[in-house]
Amino acid sequence: MERAMPQAVPLGQMEVFQALQRLHMIIFSQNVSPCGKFLAAGNNYGQIAIFSLSAALSSEAKEESKKPMVTFQAHDGPVYSMVSTDRHLLSAGDGEVKAWLWAEILKKGCKELWRRQPPYRTSLEVPEINALLLVPKENSLILAGGDCQLHTMDLETGTFTRALWGHTDYIHCLALRERSPEVLSGGEDGAVRLWDLRTAKEVQTIEVYKHEECSRPHNGRWIGCLATDSDWMVCGGGPALTLWHLRSSTPTTVFPMRAPQKHVTFYQDLILSAGQGRCVNQWQLSGELKAQVPGSSPGLLSLSLNQQPAAPECKVLTAAGNSCRVDVFTNLGYRAFSLSF
């Protein structure tokens, strides 16, 4: 006769399961709270963890300070993107975007405030939403992903006001030119498209892979990251990471980085990028590699710069990707420590 399993075994099995989850974890997205003191991180299991940056950066910080103060199940699938308004954390997964009140999250009451699904072509279509972008002047949110469209949602009413068509494959990334106002989108089709939000029309297309100096056929044509600063854009992915002058559609600097890049941002007089490999790369606009700062993850998918004026003591760069760790850089020269999901 078989003996019944002792009660301790399921607990041990749970510990093994949690260890395996951490081993295979991917952190797709990060976002800083409006007050600048907290960081949200979203993983491939649909969970969002909230870390206290102020506690982790304190001179009295302990190991417990580097773990989540709260973790909650936000989506059934991966949390691909997050943004914050003054009051809300918005998260995107497969097919829908959800809203959470920051005030309630910090009280550990993680109840979904609302959820919205863009008008897809069929009711069976559940494409991933890879990118979220706030347009403050319009009080709107732009969503883009697997259905190859950009959807605009009015944040006051929750209604979808327009859809922008043009990409022929799914969209990976978005960036805002606030002065214009215009939105840039990059996708699997190898194109960066520029949209005028006033007319809801595409006004410019740059097919990066068609430029010989940028093309890397062995890596593909996909655009995985982009950022903009006035008349300048930097983008990368399959093609080389490249700085472009938008008005003339001219590539001005091709950065000598072999590995495909998954995230890029302008910072002061530098460009920061990350992708395959452990390092956060710091580039001069001229193309010179100023520094490569190693982190703990074998590949990086997102960078987050906390520049909230309300919390200057929490001014850090965080980097996350193919591990359960979020690396924290208190200056750009070295990794100070890691938060652990």
Model confidence pLDDT, tens digit, residues 151-166: 999 999 999 999 999 9
The answer to whether 223 and 172 have CB atoms below 8 angstroms apart is: yes
CA 142/CA 174 separation, integer angstroms? 9
**9, pLDDT greater than 60:** no
Number of H helices, E strands in the chain: 3, 28
Exposed, middle or buried by CB within 10 Å (0-12, 13-18, 19+), for 3?
A: exposed
Query: Backbone phi, then psi, for 252, in 5-degree steps?
Result: -100, -30
End residue of a domain, out of 191, 222, 253: 253
Q: Cα angle vertex 229, ends 200, 91, to 5°?
A: 65
CA 78/CA 214 separation, integer angstroms? 31
For residue 280, being part of any structural domain is answered with no
Per-residue confidence (pLDDT) for residue 6, from 0 to 100: 43
**Is residue 11 very low, low, confident or very high in pLDDT (cuts 50, 70, 90)?**
low
For residue 274, being part of any structural domain is answered with no
The answer to whether 153 and 167 have CB atoms below 8 angstroms apart is: no
Per-residue confidence (pLDDT) for residue 5, from 0 to 100: 40
Instruction: Look up residue 43 and give its DSSP letter.
Output: E
- Find the CATH number of the domain harbouring 307: 2.40.128
Residues 132 and 241 in one domain: yes
CA 142/CA 95 separation, integer angstroms? 14
- The overall average pLDDT reported for the chain is 93
Q: Which residue range is the domain that position 247 belongs to? A: 127-253
pLDDT tens sequence across 119-150: 987 767 789 999 999 999 999 999 999 999 99
**1, pLDDT greater than 50:** no
- Find the CATH number of the domain harbouring 246: 2.130.10.10
End residue of a domain, out of 236, 253, 270: 253
Give this prediction's pTM. 0.92
Alpha-helix runs per DSSP H in the chain: 8-23, 53-57, 102-106
The answer to whether 158 and 182 have CB atoms below 8 angstroms apart is: no
Per-residue confidence (pLDDT) for residue 21, from 0 to 100: 86
For residue 8, being part of any structural domain is answered with no
Q: Domains in the chain: how many in total?
A: 2
pLDDT tens sequence across 187-208: 999 999 999 999 999 999 999 9
Residue with tokens 């920051």: 102
For residue 90, being part of any structural domain is answered with yes
C-alpha closest to that of 174 among 136, 135, 225, 117 = 225
Non-local CB neighbours of 15 within 8 Å, separated by 6+ positions:
none
Residue 340 tokens, joined: 């652990």
Mean pLDDT of 225-241: 97
Residues 84 and 155 in one domain: no
Residues 151 and 247 in one domain: yes
Residues 101 and 137 in one domain: no
What Rg value do the Cα atoms of the chain yield, rounded?
20
**327, pLDDT greater than 80:** yes
Residues 131 and 248 in one domain: yes
For residue 12, being part of any structural domain is answered with no
CA 198/CA 195 separation, integer angstroms? 9
* Half-sphere exposure (Cβ direction) of 124: Cα atoms closer than 13 Å: 0
**Is residue 286 very low, low, confident or very high in pLDDT (cuts 50, 70, 90)?**
very high
For residue 3, being part of any structural domain is answered with no
